[in-house]
Amino acid sequence: MPVDEPSQVAVSCRNAWKVYGPKADRIVGTSDADLPRGELLEKTGCVAAVRDVSFDVSPGEVFVVMGLSGSGKSTLVRMLNRLHEPTAGQVLIDGEDILTFNDDRLREIRRRKISMVFQHFGLFPHRRIVDNVAFGMEVQGIDREKRTARANEVLEVVGLGGLGNAYPDELSGGMQQRVGLARALCTDPEIMLFDEPFSALDPLIRRDMQDEVVRLQREVHKTMIFITHDLMEALKLGDRIAIMKDGRFVQIGTPEEVVAHPADDYVADFTRDVPRAHVLTVRTIMRPANGETDYAGDVAAGSVVQDVLPLMVTSDRPYRVIDGTTQVGMLDRTAVLAAMMEDAG
Amino acid sequence: MAVRTPPSSDLEELGAPERTIVVPTADRPRFPRWVRFLIWAVAVVAVIAVGLQLSGGFPESRTVDVAAKFNDFNDWVITNQRTSPLFVNFLDPVRNGIQSAYDQMVLVLSRLTWLGLIALVAAVAGLVAGWRLSIVAACGFLFMGLLGLWEPSVETLSLMIFAVLIAVAIGIPVGIWAGRRPSVERAIRPVLDAMQTIPAFSYLVPVVLLFGIGVPTALIATVVFAIPPAIRLTGLGVRQVPETSLEVGRSFGSTSHQLLRRIQLPLAKPAILLGVNQTIMMALGIVVIAATVGVGGLGQVVLDGLNNLNVGLALEGGLAIVALAIVLDRTTSAWGARDRKRRGATTIHVYGREISRLAATVVALALVAVAVFIGRQVLRQQDFPSAWTVNIEAPVNAAVSWITRTFGGVTTAITNVTVKYALDPLKNLLTDVPWWMVAGFAALIGWRVSRRWGLAALAFVCIAAVGVLGLWNESMDTLSQVMVAVVVSVALAIPLGIWCAQSDRVERALRPVLDMMQTMPQFVYLVPAVGLFGVGRVPGVIAGLVYALPPGIRLTNLGIRQVPKEIVEAAEAYGANRSQTLWKVQVPLARPSILLGVNQTIIMVFSVVIIAGLIGGAGLGLEVVRGLSHDPGAGMVAGICIMLLAIVIDRITQAMGEANRIAVPPSRTFGWRSGPSTKRAAAVATGVSERTSQEGEEST
C-alpha cells in the first residue's frame, strides 16, 4: 500500500528531532546525538524525545506508531501539527514543509487539514456536547446554525445522536471519546491524529471504539496517524506499524512483516505473544505451485491464516492460492499447522 | 505560539531525572529530646538573664526622626496644594472626581428611596444568585433600616460598590495577564504577598498624606487592599486550565484570543468569581475601618459607639455591618456556586436559558420600577421611616451594665491576670533586654526555620529598623500583645480542629459558626470585646484571638482530613488504634496545613491588635490612630513599623510551613471536575479563606 511518489504522500516526516533542554538545537548533528539517553542527559542536560525519525504516510492509510511510555510517540504526533516544535527536520503535508509556515498558515492548516483526538479526551467541561463537537468550526468563524447542524450530523455518525445538549461529565468514558472523535471529524480534515485515544478506556469499550475507527475509516477514508502502546491495537488498526523505542523508529512494516520478521530482539520480544494465525497471511506460509491439479479449492493470498482454518478442517487436500485471478502458490494443511504451532510453542 | 517548553510530565515520562528531593539531614540526636530541650531552655534563660543586665531597649541616640520628614512633607502638601502642579493637575482632579462620583452614587441610591433600593438589591441578588438570595438580601437591608441606620448603610454600600468596581476592573485584567505570562506572575507575586500581609489599617496613613481626610482616601486604600484576591484568583484560574484543553484549542487552530475567550476564561470563571467574592469581603473590612478618615457610614457609627463607650450604639453599627457582609458574601458566593452548576434549562433547547433569563430580568426590573414609584410618589420617603425603627441601643446598654455589675469581677480578674502575668512581663522582657538581642533572636528563629541566612538577615534588619525609626517600645508592646493572643488562639484552635477532624458531627455543627465568624469584618469583633472588657489592651487581644480562631480550626481539620485514605488504612491495617493513627500518621502529615493555620492566625491577630489602637490598645495601633487624627508623620512611621513587623512575622511562619511541606501532586484544575482536596489545597495555598472554596465544592 505505501507509495513513494511525492504526490501520493499525505504526511511526510523527514529526519525529525525533538530535543528538550538547554541549547537543544545544538545537539542535533553532533556525535552527542547518538549517545544513549542517559549519557546524553548526563553530558548536556538535554533529553532527546524524538531522534531522527522519517516516515511517509499515504492518503487514506492508517499509520500506527507503537511504543512504550517514554518512547517519544506522543511528542512525535504533536510535532505533526506543531503543538510541539521539532528541533530539526521537516514535516511535509501535501509536500509543503509546515515548519516554514508562519502562525497564520499554521492555524489555517490546523483548522482545515489536520485534527486531533486526545488521550484523556480533552473535552471542554463548560460546553455542551454539540458545542464541543462544533469547536473547530467555531474557531473558523462559521456561524452557529451551520456548525450546530454539522455537529449534530457528525454526532449521528459516531452513534451519539440526540445527546448534543448533554455536558461531558454526564457521559461515560467511551461516549466521551466518541465526542472526541466527532469533534475531530467535524471539520472534515484530511488527516487525523490520534494520541493514545483509547488507553483510558475499559477493555470492552476499547474494542468497541477500535471497531468504530475501522468502520469510520472504511466510510470516510481519512489519513490517520494513530499512537498507541497496545500492540494488539496497532495490529488491528494499522495498515503499517512503526515500532518506536527511545525516540527512534526500530521498525516500520505491515502488521504481518512486524510479526513475521521482527527487526530486532526488542520487536521480537514484543510480538512474541501475538497469535500468528491472526496476523500471518496465506501468502507468507504458502509454497510455490508446481502445477498440481488436485486441490480442494481457492483461498485468497491476502487472507489471514485464522480465516482459512475452517477450510483446512473440511479437506486434507491442498488449496490453490490466488491473488486476484492468478494463482500464486499452494497452501498445505501442514503449513497452517506449523504456523499455529508457533503460537502454541 | 509555536515554541513551548514541554509540560513537566512529558519530561518525566521521557526519563528526565526526578527532581532531587532534599531531605534535611537531621543532626543525629546525641541526647534524648527532653535533655536537648532543657539545654536550649537553660541557654535561652541564661542569655536573657545576661541581657537584662545590659542596658535595655533601643538607644535613643541612634534613632532617626523620620516622622519630622513626613510632617515636613505634610506641611508642604498643606501649603502647596493650591499651587503645586502635582496637586492642581493631578491629585486634585483625581480627588474631586472620586468625591463627586461617590456623591452621585449616594444621591442616586438615596433617590431610589428605601423601598426602591431594597427592591433593587433583592432583584440583583435574585438574578445573579437565585430567588432565595433575593429574600436574604431584602431581609438584610430591611434589618439595617429597622436598626435606624439606613443612611449610613447607603453610604457604606455606595463606597463598597465604587471600590469593588474599580478593584475588579483592574484586578481581573491584571490577573489574566499574570495567568498567561509566568514572568508577570513571578514579578507581582511578592507584591501581592506583602499587600495581603500588611494590616489594613496601615494602608490609610500614606494615602491620607497625599489626599487628606475623606472619601478619596478611603476609596484608594480600599481598592489597594482589596485588589490582591481578584488578581490572584483570576491568575490561578487561568493557570489551572488543563494543558490538554489548551492543546485541543491549538490543534484546531485557535488564535491566542480565541484560546482566552473560549477556553481559558470560561474554565477560570469559578475561580474568578471566588476572587470577586473575596475582594468584596476584604473591601468591606476596610471600608468600615475607613471611618477613621472621616467617610461616615456604618464604620462611623461603630467608632462613635466605641469612642463614647456606648456599646449599644456600636453594636447597632456592628450588626448592620454583619447584615451587609452576609448579604454580599452569600450573594456572590451563591453566584459562583450556581455558575459551577451551569445548568439553566439546558435540557430544553438551545436558547432556552437566555430567554428565561431575559424574562426574569424584565420582570425584576419592572418590580423595581414599581417599588421606586411607590417609594417616591406614594410613600414619599427617601429614608427608612423612623417610626419603624427598633431601638436596641438602650436595652443593650442596660444589659451591658448589668453584665458589668454581675460579672464585673470575672472580667476584671481576667483583664488583670492577663495584664499582670502575660502582657506586662512579656512587654517588659522585650524592652528590658538590648534591642540587638531581640533582633538576634528573631534572626535565630528565621535561620532555624529556613536554614537560610537571607531570612535571618531580613529579620534582623527589619527589627533593627523598627528601633531606628524610634518606635521600639511601641513595637515591643504590640509584639507582646500579638504573642499572647497567638498562643491562646493556637492553643484553642488546634484541639478544636483535631476534634472537628475526628467527628463529622462536630464539623457540621461548627461550620456555620466559623462561616459567620469569617464573614464579619475584624472591626466588628471589637464591639463585644469592649462591652465585656472595657477599653485597653486586653479587649484587643481577646478580639484578635477570637477573630483568628477560624483559620486555625479549619486548617487543622482540613490538614487531617486531607491525609489520603490509603495511608490511614495502611496504619489501621497494621493495628494502629485511633489515637495512634491520629498522632503517628494524621497529625504529622497535617503539619504543613496546621502551620499554615498558625501563619494565618498570626497575621489576623496582628491586624486586629493594630486596630485595637482605636479602643485604647497601646502600641503601634495607637500611634496610627494618633497619626490619622493629628500627627501624620508619627502615623506614617508607625505604619512602616507595622509593615516591617508584618513582613518578618509572615516570612518566618511561611518558612516554617514550607520546611514541613510534603510533596503533594500539583492540582491542575480549579472549579471544574477537580477532586475536593485539590480544590481546597489550591484555595488554601493562595490564602483564600477556606470557607468559600468549601462552599463551592458542596454545590458542585
A154: its cell numbers: 457528525
Sheet with strand A298-300: strands edge to edge: A298-300, A319-323, A326-331
CA distances from B280 to A10, B257, B283 (A): 56, 29, 5
CB B157 within 8 A of CB B321: no
Verify whether the Cβ–Cβ distance A169 to B16 is below 8 Å: no
Does the structure's ipTM exceed the value 0.85? no
pLDDT of B361 reads 79
Cβ-nearest to B253 among A78, A111, A167: A111
Taking CA–CA distances from A121, the nearest residue in chain B reads B244
Query: Is pLDDT at B685 greater than 80 in this prediction?
Result: no
pLDDT of B662 reads 45
pLDDT of A94 reads 87
Torsion-angle region of B266 (φ positive above 0: left; ψ -120 to 50: alpha; else: beta): alpha
Verify whether the Cβ–Cβ distance B11 to A110 is below 8 Å: no
Mutation for testing the B interface, residue in A50, A124, A186 having most B CBs under 10 Å: A124
CA nearest neighbour of B669 among B659, B679, B677 = B679
Contacts of A23 (CB under 8 A, 6+ apart): A44, A46
Determine which of A100-104, B228-232, B250-254, B567-571 has the lowest per-residue pLDDT on average.
B567-571
pLDDT of B208 reads 83
Contacts of B245 in chain A (CB under 8 A): 122, 124
Contacts of A138 in chain B (CB under 8 A): 262
d(CA B455, CA A50): 44
B26 touches chain A (CB under 8 A): no
pLDDT of B669 reads 31
pLDDT of B339 reads 59
Q: In this prediction, what percent of chain B has a pLDDT beyond 90? A: 22
Mutation for testing the A interface, residue in B3, B5, B14 having most A CBs under 10 Å: B14
Determine which of A77-91, B65-79, B523-537, B660-674 has the lowest per-residue pLDDT on average.
B660-674
Mind telling me how many Å the CA of A34 is from chain B's nearest CA?
Answer: 16
Confidence category of residue B675, pLDDT binned at 50, 70, 90:
very low
d(CA A121, CA A116): 10
Helix (H, G, I), strand (E, B) or coil at B366: helix
Query: Is pLDDT at B667 greater than 60 in this prediction?
Result: no
A173 touches chain B (CB under 8 A): no
Verify whether the Cβ–Cβ distance A70 to B248 is below 8 Å: no
Chain A, 178-197: which have a CB under 8 Å from a chain B CB?
187, 193
Query: Is pLDDT at B485 greater than 90 in this prediction?
Result: yes
Phi, psi of A246 (to 5 degrees): 50, 40
Q: Which is more confidently placed, A283 or B549?
A: B549
pLDDT of B515 reads 86
Query: Is pLDDT at B3 greater than 60 in this prediction?
Result: no
pLDDT of A300 reads 87
**Mean pLDDT on B408-431:** 87
Cβ-nearest to A125 among B4, B347, B672: B672
Q: What would the 3-class secondary structure string for B607-671 be?
A: HHHHHHHHHCCCCHHHHHHHHHHCCHHHHHHHHHHHHHHHHHHHHHHHHHHHHCCCCCCCCCCCC
Determine which of A193-197, B19-23, B456-460 has the lowest per-residue pLDDT on average.
B19-23
Helix (H, G, I), strand (E, B) or coil at B564: coil
Question: For residue B84, how many other CB atoms are within 10 A of its CB?
Answer: 15
Verify whether the Cβ–Cβ distance B14 to A49 is below 8 Å: yes
Give the pLDDT confidence of B191-217 residue by residue, as tens digits. Answer: 888 887 788 777 788 888 888 888 888
Give pLDDT < 50 ranges for chain A: 1-6
Verify whether the Cβ–Cβ distance B266 to A38 is below 8 Å: no
Phi, psi of A328 (to 5 degrees): -120, -15
B194: its cell numbers: 506583602
Q: Where are the alpha helices (DSSP H) in B112-242?
A: 113-129, 131-146, 150-180, 182-197, 201-211, 215-239
Helix (H, G, I), strand (E, B) or coil at B221: helix
Query: Is pLDDT at B60 greater than 80 in this prediction?
Result: no
Give the pLDDT confidence of B614-664 residue by residue, as tens digits. Answer: 888 888 888 888 888 778 888 888 888 988 998 888 888 888 777 655 443
Verify whether the Cβ–Cβ distance B342 to A49 is below 8 Å: no
Verify whether the Cβ–Cβ distance A139 to B269 is below 8 Å: no
Contacts of B347 in chain A (CB under 8 A): 165
Query: Is pLDDT at B666 greater than 70 in this prediction?
Result: no
d(CA B206, CA A103): 48
Query: Is pLDDT at B387 greater than 50 in this prediction?
Result: yes
pLDDT of B677 reads 36
Buried b (16+ CB within 10 A) or exposed e, A102-119: eeeebbebbbebbbbbbb
Highest mean pLDDT among B41-50, B256-265, B672-681: B256-265
pLDDT mean across residues, chain B: 81
Chain A, 21-50: which have a CB under 8 Å from a chain B CB?
37-38, 41, 47, 49
Verify whether the Cβ–Cβ distance B672 to A126 is below 8 Å: yes
Taking CA–CA distances from B347, the nearest residue in chain A reads A165
CA distances from B663 to B5, B23, B392, B592 (A): 23, 12, 54, 11
d(CA A23, CA B443): 41
A17 touches chain B (CB under 8 A): no
Chain B, 233-252: which have a CB under 8 Å from a chain A CB?
242, 244-245, 247-252
Give the pLDDT confidence of B84-103 residue by residue, as tens digits. Answer: 777 777 888 888 889 999 99
- The pTM assigned to this predicted structure is 0.78
Element containing residue A228 per DSSP (H, E): strand A223-228
